[in-house]
């Protein structure tokens, strides 16, 4: 089979798309010039290539709204490992068709990011750093008086489509008490660009109860279920009132697993109180790609084994994620949407995996991506997944 094609029938797959009424429904999908043009039980077109997904699940292409491959070592901060060879190691090679560089895009190297995005097989978007035009920098360089919003407006409007929001990483190791002023200004910039603001909540200061008041409908809190000192939750898992109010006004809550930001005991207590995530992201990067994160599918599998249904887990990383970054045509299996898909199995396993605090979680089911299909242009591309989850490597 050709790996690049204008016409493709994705045949015999078991579709999962809660938003469009596909509840494990076996259907064929016809993609022409990169767009879904037909969905029904049996499609036969003589000059179309066929990918047979019999016995496999098919979702819209999975979206990871929080990855890092552009973090740079900074004086006084923990040294990050060098970037990976390609963003595709976090994307199509691990089962995600779209990834978002989360706040490690800055004005100073925006052109470099654009070139990487254009060259990637994976759809690659960015959240712009709200820490200054040079990015995170050191604590001393994060001065709102040195941030000119007009520079953000000019750059992002000059190159539309690449940036999907702003990001401020609030933690005493990054912003200390400057997080309040940085978040307030980043919110002003994102509002004027009609884009969401994502905030990272971590070690005190700043207090997330103060930060949350800046956020409005469509903004995002990441690292919701961390195990650090100042939690979003009371000891029994009940969300604090300010976060209940935030959810009521439409603020979204993201897992953002990372190296230090997911504690499954915190998550499980919050789950029992009904505070489930809207988004499931990895915060994957070179330092955690071999554990405790591994891949988007692994993070999704942890959440699934903690009680969320397969359909709801998939919905978090398709429909919800696409709406969060305001990318129409992604995250759905419907006529007129882009031809992006993740083909996967759900395997029986007997394995223990850690959270970020070395608590072990017993998993009995794992989502195992097998193939990604991406239509960044009018051509549709098929890529084998090289690493689905830590219990199975594909294509090696």
Instruction: Give, to the nearest 10 degrees, the angle between helix 149-158 and helix 179-192.
Output: 40
Q: For the chain, how far is it from start to end, CA to CA, in angstroms?
A: 20
Domains of the chain and any CATH numbers: 4-60+333-384 (2.30.40.10), 62-324 (3.20.20.140)
Structure tokens at 298: 């692994």
Q: How far is CA 278 from CA 40, 81, 296, in A?
A: 30, 30, 15
pLDDT of amino acid 102? 94
Least Cα distance to 83 among 224, 289, 232, 276 occurs for 289
Structure tokens at 207: 């207090």
Write the burial class of residue 196 (CB in 10 Å: 0-12 exposed, 13-18 middle, 19+ buried).
Answer: buried
The model's pTM is 0.95
Total residue length of the chain: 396
The tens digit of pLDDT for each residue in 172-224 reads 777 777 888 999 999 999 999 999 999 999 887 888 899 999 999 999 999 99
Statement: residue 293 has pLDDT above 60: yes
The tens digit of pLDDT for each residue in 90-104 reads 999 999 999 999 999
Least Cα distance to 289 among 392, 202, 389 occurs for 389
What pairs with residue 80 in β-bridges? none
Mean pLDDT, residues 139-161 taken together = 87
């Amino acid at each position: 089979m050709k790996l690049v094609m204008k016409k493709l029938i994705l045949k015999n797959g078991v579709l999962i798309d809660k938003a469009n009424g596909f509840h494990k429904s076996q259907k064929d999908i016809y993609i022409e010039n990169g767009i879904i043009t037909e969905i029904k039980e049996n499609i036969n077109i003589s000059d179309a290539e066929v990918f047979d997904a019999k016995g496999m699940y098919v979702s819209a292409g999975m979206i990871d709204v929080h990855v890092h491959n552009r973090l740079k070592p900074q004086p006084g901060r923990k040294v990050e490992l060098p970037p990976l060879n390609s963003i595709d190691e976090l994307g199509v090679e691990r089962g995600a068709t779209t990834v978002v560089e989360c706040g490690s895009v800055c004005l100073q190297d925006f052109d470099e990011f654009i070139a990487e995005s254009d060259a990637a097989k994976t759809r690659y978007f960015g959240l712009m750093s709200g820490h200054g035009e040079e990015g995170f920098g050191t604590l001393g360089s994060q001065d709102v008086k040195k941030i000119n919003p007009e520079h953000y407006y000019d750059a992002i409007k000059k190159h539309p489509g690449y940036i999907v929001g702003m990001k401020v990483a609030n933690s005493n190791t990054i912003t200390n008490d400057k997080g309040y002023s940085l978040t307030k200004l980043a919110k002003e910039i994102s509002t004027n660009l009609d884009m969401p603001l994502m905030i990272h909540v971590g070690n005190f200061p700043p207090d997330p109860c103060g930060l949350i008041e800046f956020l409005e409908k469509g903004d995002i809190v990441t690292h919701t279920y961390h195990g650090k000192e100042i939690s979003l939750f009371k000891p029994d898992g009940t969300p604090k009132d300010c976060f209940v109010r935030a959810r009521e006004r439409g603020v979204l809550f993201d897992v953002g697993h990372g190296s230090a930001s997911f504690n499954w005991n915190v998550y499980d207590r919050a789950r029992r109180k009904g505070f489930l995530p809207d988004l499931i992201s990895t915060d994957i990067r070179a330092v955690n790609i071999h554990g405790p994160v591994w891949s988007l599918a692994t993070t999704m599998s942890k959440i699934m084994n903690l009680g969320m249904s397969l359909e709801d887990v998939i919905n978090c990383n398709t429909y919800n994620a696409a709406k969060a970054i305001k990318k129409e045509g992604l995250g759905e299996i419907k006529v007129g949407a882009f031809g992006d898909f993740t083909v996967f199995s759900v395997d029986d396993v007997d394995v223990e995996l850690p959270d970020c605090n070395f608590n072990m979680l017993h998993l009995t089911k794992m989502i195992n991506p097998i193939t990604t299909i991406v239509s960044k242009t009018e051509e549709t591309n098929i890529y084998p997944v090289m690493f689905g989850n830590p219990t199975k490597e594909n294509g090696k």
